[in-house]
Amino acid sequence: MRKRIDLMEQKFGKLTVVAYYGPNKSGNSLWECLCDCGKFTVVESYLLRTGATQSCGCKVSERMAARNYRHGMFGSRIYEIWRKMRRRCHSRSDRAYQRYGGRGINICKEWDNLENGFHNFHNWAMNNGYADNLSIDRIDNDGNYEPSNCRWVDAKTQCNNRSSNHKVDYRGETLTITQLANKIGIKPTNMWSFLSRNGWNSELAVKAAKGGDNNDRNVK
Q: Which of 127, 152, 177 is the last residue of a domain?
A: 152
pLDDT at 195: 84
User: Domain check: are 71 and 122 in the same one?
Assistant: yes
pLDDT at 206: 92
Domain membership of residue 116 (yes or no) is yes
Which structural domain, as residue segments, surrounds residue 204? 166-220
CA distances (Å), 172 to each of 73, 117, 168, 169, 175, in order?
Answer: 48, 40, 10, 6, 10
Decide: helix, strand or coil at residue 22: strand
Gap between the Cα atoms of 215 and 208, Å rounded: 12
| Total domains, the chain | 3
User: Domain check: are 147 and 61 in the same one?
Assistant: yes
For 66-94, what is the HEC assignment? HHHHHHCCCCCHHHHHHHHHHHHHHCCCC
Domain membership of residue 18 (yes or no) is yes
User: Domain check: are 136 and 185 in the same one?
Assistant: no
pLDDT at 219: 36
pLDDT at 156: 66
User: Domain check: are 75 and 142 in the same one?
Assistant: yes
User: Domain check: are 148 and 66 in the same one?
Assistant: yes
User: Domain check: are 126 and 182 in the same one?
Assistant: no
User: Domain check: are 80 and 143 in the same one?
Assistant: yes
User: Domain check: are 42 and 116 in the same one?
Assistant: no
pLDDT digits (tens, 9 = 90+) for 109-161: 999 987 788 989 999 999 999 998 899 999 888 889 999 999 998 876 665 55
User: Domain check: are 77 and 42 in the same one?
Assistant: no
Distance of CA 17 to the CA centre of its chain: 31
Gap between the Cα atoms of 93 and 100, Å rounded: 12
Domain membership of residue 159 (yes or no) is no
The C-alpha angle with vertex 72 and arms to 58 and 56, in degrees rounded to 5, equals: 5
User: Domain check: are 61 and 49 in the same one?
Assistant: no
Q: How far apart are the first and last CA of the chain?
A: 52
User: Domain check: are 144 and 70 in the same one?
Assistant: yes
Tell me which residues of the chain have a pLDDT lower than 70: 1-2, 59-72, 156-166, 212-220
User: Domain check: are 99 and 175 in the same one?
Assistant: no
Domain membership of residue 89 (yes or no) is yes
